[in-house]
């Protein structure tokens, strides 16, 4: 029976490579010298005390990225106060370059197997922009996109998870949710939605586990 299970993916970090992984793309896009961006988040926590502060919940994820946004803007002699400025300037021109290869393979496999695909994001269009989403590879394979840019319901609010389940028309036990942020995983756990806590430094393992949970 097809369509009886679903893979629900966070977008940034899970479907796309993180901004930590694409410093070379960012530097080229912005005309910065190679090696200008040195913060590496989970890939080198010693290089990034601000990331550790976010992981310890001393600051929010948005606070972290606002700080990095302002920092990169100043490198260009500009005043950037919104995360979307950074994201769109850094990677908006070539969306295919930031798609995770492991995500591509998993999305194609799930779609080919006749299962449903969904995105549950806090800021898909807010950060990336509508035009980026429209041009993003494989976006047409997704049955449901729930984006808090429009719903105003941010993970880990239980209503966010219930909304995507409602739009999929599936029971929670038939779905697997994948996210790289611990607080969002805790939100899924609270509503009894099966999950994979995605480690951006080991993407193949995360996708392999999610597919196995779906019987693929």
Does the pLDDT of residue 47 top 90, yes or no? no
Same domain, 84 and 107: no
In a domain, 156, yes or no: yes
Q: Is the same domain home to 48 and 127?
A: no
Percent of the chain having pLDDT more than 70? Answer: 99
The domain total for the chain is: 2
Asked if the structure places residue 27 within a domain, the reply is: yes
Residue 1 lies in a domain: no
Q: What is the pLDDT of residues 139-150, one digit of tens each?
A: 999 999 999 999
Structural domain contains residue 199: yes
User: Which of residues 48, 71, 93 is at a domain's end?
Assistant: 93
Kindly state whether residues 72 and 120 are assigned to the same domain.
no
140 against 1, higher pLDDT: 140
Nearest 10 degrees: CA dihedral of 201, 204, 209, 210?
A: 100
Determine the Cα–Cα distance for residues 211 and 198; give it in Å rounded to an integer: 13
**Mean pLDDT, the chain, whole residue set:** 94
pLDDT at 13: 94
- Going by DSSP bridges, is the β-strand pair 195-197/175-179 parallel, antiparallel, or unpaired? parallel
pLDDT score at 207: 98
Task: Say whether both 11 and 111 belong to one domain.
Answer: yes
CA dist., res. 167 & res. 152, Å (int):
16
* Average pLDDT of span 129-140: 92
Of 93, 111, 129, which residue is a domain's last? 93
Q: Identify whether residues 121 and 182 lie together within a single domain.
A: yes
Least reliable range by pLDDT among 9-23, 61-75, 81-95, 117-131: 81-95
CATH number of 104's domain: 3.40.50.1000
What is the per-residue pLDDT for 95? 85
Same-domain pairing of 71 and 122 = no
Asked if 83 and 172 sit in the same domain, the reply is no
| Domain end point (choices 53, 69, 93) | 93
Percent of the chain with pLDDT over 90: 86
Residues 11 and 112 in one domain: yes
Same domain, 138 and 185: yes
The helix/strand/coil state of 107 is helix
Which residue is listed with tokens 């793309």? 25
Residue 58: per-residue pLDDT: 94
Least confident of 21-30, 54-63, 78-87: 54-63
In the prediction, which pLDDT does 61 show? Answer: 80
What pLDDT digit, counting tens, does each position of 70-115 carry?
999 999 999 999 988 999 999 867 888 899 999 999 999 999 999 9
Provide the residue range defining the domain that includes 53.
23-93
Q: Are residues 83 and 108 in the same domain?
A: no
Q: How confident is the model at residue 2 (pLDDT cuts 50, 70, 90)?
A: low
175 and 145 fall within a common domain: yes
Are 54 and 120 within one domain? no
């Amino acid at each position: 029976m097809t369509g009886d299970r679903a893979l629900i993916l966070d977008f940034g970090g899970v479907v796309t490579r993180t901004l930590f992984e694409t410093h070379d793309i960012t530097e080229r896009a912005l005309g910065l010298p190679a090696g200008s961006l040195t913060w590496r988040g989970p890939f080198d926590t010693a290089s990034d005390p601000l990331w550790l502060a976010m992981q310890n919940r001393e600051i929010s994820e948005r606070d972290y990225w606002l700080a990095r946004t302002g920092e990169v803007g100043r490198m260009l002699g500009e005043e950037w106060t919104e995360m979307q400025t950074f994201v769109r300037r850094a990677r908006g021109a070539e969306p295919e370059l930031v798609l995770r290869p492991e995500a591509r393979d998993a999305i194609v496999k799930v779609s080919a197997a006749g299962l449903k695909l969904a995105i549950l994001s806090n800021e898909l269009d807010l950060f990336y922009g509508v035009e980026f989403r429209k041009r993003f590879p494989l976006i047409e394979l997704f049955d449901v996109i729930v984006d808090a840019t429009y719903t105003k319901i941010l993970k880990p609010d239980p209503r966010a998870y219930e909304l995507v389940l409602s739009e999929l028309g599936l029971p929670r036990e038939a779905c697997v949710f994948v996210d790289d942020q611990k607080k969002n995983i805790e939100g899924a756990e609270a509503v009894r939605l099966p999950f994979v806590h995605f480690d951006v430094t080991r993407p193949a393992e995360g996708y392999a586990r999610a597919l196995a949970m779906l019987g693929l």
